[in-house]
Structure 1
Amino acid sequence: MSSDDPPYLMALPDPVGAGKQKFQLCMSELLQLVRVHLPGRMAGAGPSEREQRIALRKALGYLDSDYLIDLPEPFFGALLRAAVYDPDPSFNRQFVEPLRVAFGARRTQEALLEVLRTGTNQERAGAARAWYWATLEMVEDIQVRWDQAALREFVVNEDIDVRRCLLPQLPLHPSHYPGELHPLVAEAVHIGRTHPDEYLRHRVELQVRTGI
């Protein structure tokens, strides 16, 4: 590829450990909450994952804030878990958006940051996948803390899913960080460039080249 060629994005690979069973438990938990608290909106929840997603999307008023004002507190944890355990970085939006609109961007982002800091590797990767949709309404001080925590996690955590999910939103210019973290930026770039994983090598070169 020459320097004049347009950049292309390699798709984020599927998780190595998808944890499908845990995600199904999250779906069941949400469906039960809807049946209890929003029974008038529950329809069409068949046995397949696709049917359940569609039913939850309608019941939660996905992207329709009028539906989300009065979601009771039990929905916060259930939506957070579903957003984290959903292996699909596009479909997880249907859990992150209701979470953010109903309970606020700050609370949502603080919760995902806590998962990044203290969760299992599967949960850390899921929090990174959910972060994109959670920051459509950015909270600047939390974004700073996320970027610094994500940089540290990328460098020290060798789990491939964690690194793959963190990298696309990880700033790789030293000026983005305080001076004491500049060596970690260089180390993160080195890890990406020399890693055996094709996605990490592709993505880090793209980000260094384009600044995205």
Structure 2
Amino acid sequence: MGGYEAQETSEGDGVPDFLMALPAPEAPDGDPFERCLVDVVRVLGLDVVRGSGIDDYEWGHFVRAALREACKQEAPFPEQSFEVLLRAAVHDTDPSFNRWFVEAALNGFGRGRVRSRLIGYLRTGTDVERAGAARAWYWTALPLDHPHLRAAGPGGDRTEPDDGAVGVREWNEAALREFVDNEDLDVRRCILPGLPLRPSAYPAQLHRLVEEAVAIARSHPDPYLQHRVEHQVRG
């Protein structure tokens, strides 16, 4: 990861007309994502085998491709795949490719259930899981493109209408508190891009926290936080 993303801005406001890409997180001890990939293949019965000479990066892409194909086939997902898919989404450190695990879970189990689980990770997970939940949350706004995909068993009976606003206020409030209270750099980096920094987005009792979050980002020694906050308060 690294580099910059193109972004149009107004002229003369003193803010550079690009967005810094989200820096890659520090590698956690062990390789939890590798274990997650093994579980996704096993629980969903994906037709993919890791051959000799396949490195971790390629293996991840093979599993994601097999998962996308399984979604297109719209075969029922086993109930236990819900947690397996969300764990993979949370531990996938690539903020672009983690979408395939989120999208599969959304279509199989519904937006409300996926968002509720990510809020749980944000509130009670490890710092690695909190940062991963923030990266995964971005993709929970995806449309449900596989309407006939369901989880097998009682968990697959999704009769509630799809509500794009479900869980958003709860997430925003939890993310704001986490950004202010948690000094872990990866957590703050991953939360900030999706964090509304308008007081009007929160109840009155949280307006002070919005001001505190802006002050933390502006005064932080990390260039990414400094850069992102100026774009967001201006937007």
TM-score category, normalised to shorter length:
0.7 to 0.9
For the 8 Å contact 2:15–2:231, the answer to whether it is kept is: no
Structure 1 length-normalised TM: 0.88
Deviations 1:99-123 (A, max 9, x none): 1111111111110011001101100
Distance 1:209 1:53 in 2: 37
Deviation for aligned residue 1:209: 1.2
Deviation for aligned residue 1:92: 0.5
Deviation for aligned residue 1:75: 1.0
Where does structure 1 lack aligned partners over 5 or more consecutive residues? none
The residue type paired with residue 205 of structure 1 is E
Alignment match, 2:185: 160
SS at match of 2:31: helix
SS at match of 1:9: strand
Distance 2:124 2:75 in 1: 29
Divergent runs of 4+, >6 A: none
SS at match of 1:60: helix
Deviations 1:90-145 (A, max 9, x none): 11111111111111111111100110011011000000000011122563240000
Distance 1:43 1:197 in 2: 40
Distance 1:23 1:69 in 2: 25
For the 8 Å contact 1:60–1:68, the answer to whether it is kept is: no
Structure-2 change in CA distance of 1:68 and 1:128 (3 Å): farther
For the 8 Å contact 2:91–2:132, the answer to whether it is kept is: yes
1:43 aligns with 2:53: no
**1:58-137 → structure 2 map (5 Å cutoff):** 58-61=65-68, 65-137=71-143
Structure-2 change in CA distance of 1:57 and 1:103 (3 Å): same
Where does structure 2 lack aligned partners over 5 or more consecutive residues? 1-10, 144-162
Distance 1:141 1:29 in 2: 28
Distance 2:104 2:168 in 1: 20
1:33 to 18, 24, 43: 43
Distance 1:74 1:106 in 2: 17
* Worse overlay, 198-207 or 10-19: 10-19
Structure-2 change in CA distance of 1:67 and 1:61 (3 Å): farther
The residue type paired with residue 228 of structure 2 is R
Deviation for aligned residue 1:2: 3.2
For the 8 Å contact 1:80–1:96, the answer to whether it is kept is: yes
Deviation for aligned residue 1:30: 1.3
SS at match of 2:18: coil
2:33 to 8, 18, 23: 23
Structure 2 length-normalised TM: 0.80
Aligned residues: 204
For the 8 Å contact 1:19–1:85, the answer to whether it is kept is: no
Q: Which has the higher helix share?
A: 1
Structure-2 change in CA distance of 1:190 and 1:6 (3 Å): closer
**1:129-148 → structure 2 map (5 Å cutoff):** 129-137=135-143, 139-148=164-173
Deviation for aligned residue 1:156: 0.5
For the 8 Å contact 1:71–1:102, the answer to whether it is kept is: yes
Distance 1:72 1:200 in 2: 40
Percent identity over the alignment? 50
1:170 to 191, 195, 204: 195
* Worse overlay, 23-32 or 162-171: 23-32
Structure-2 change in CA distance of 1:148 and 1:24 (3 Å): same
Distance 2:135 2:31 in 1: 18
Distance 1:69 1:178 in 2: 43
